[in-house]
Amino acid sequence: MNRGIKYWVIVASKDHVKTGIAEGIAQTCHGKASPLKRMRKDDFIIYYSGKQTMGEREVCQKFTAIGKVIDDEIYQAQVSEDFCPSRRNIDFFPNRDVSILPLIPDLDFISNKKSWGYPFRFGFFEINQHDFELISSQMLQKDYA
């Protein structure tokens, strides 16, 4: 049974997103495997960064990476003695960071436009094709000015 392509948003600080891009991996929800198990090969992901740096106050409020799940493998990486997060392999696309603010009125996954940040509190969630296409059309524009 083909379930069709799905579209996911992962929430992480921009500094962590940059590391993930460099390593070609996705990691979410403090390294938990269960969200990653919901993704399948050929699904798409978009990273949203509320902050520039984890633990700091400087806001980002942008979509900061976009890519495609390249296989069905979930694996753990030994980052430190007591931290072995689960990861997925991702093919990231060249993109520009895009502010969420002008997109809020047109995004279906944000039902309460005044409390637009609420969905991001979960760290990982599915969006519909319309929302993915809206965000990706801005991120993948060829002029990265």
Q: Is residue 145 part of a domain?
A: no
Please indicate, yes or no, if residue 40 is contained in any of the structural domains. yes
The answer to whether residue 72 sits within a structural domain is: yes
Domain span including residue 11: 7-139
Nearest to 129 by CA among 107, 113, 111: 107
* Residue 131 within any structural domain of the chain: yes
* Contact (CB, 8 A) for 17 and 65: yes
C-beta of residue 85 within 8 angstroms of C-beta of residue 30: yes
Please report, for the domain that includes residue 73, its CATH number: 3.10.590.10
Q: Contact 52/59 with Cβ under 8 angstroms?
A: yes
In a domain? residue 1: no
Count of the separate structural domains present in the chain = 1
pLDDT in tens, the chain (145 residues): 567 999 999 999 999 999 999 999 999 988 899 999 999 999 999 999 999 998 888 999 999 999 999 999 999 888 888 888 899 999 999 999 999 999 999 999 999 999 999 999 999 999 999 999 999 999 997 654 4
Separation in Å, CA 27 to CA 38, 99, 108, 129: 13, 22, 25, 22
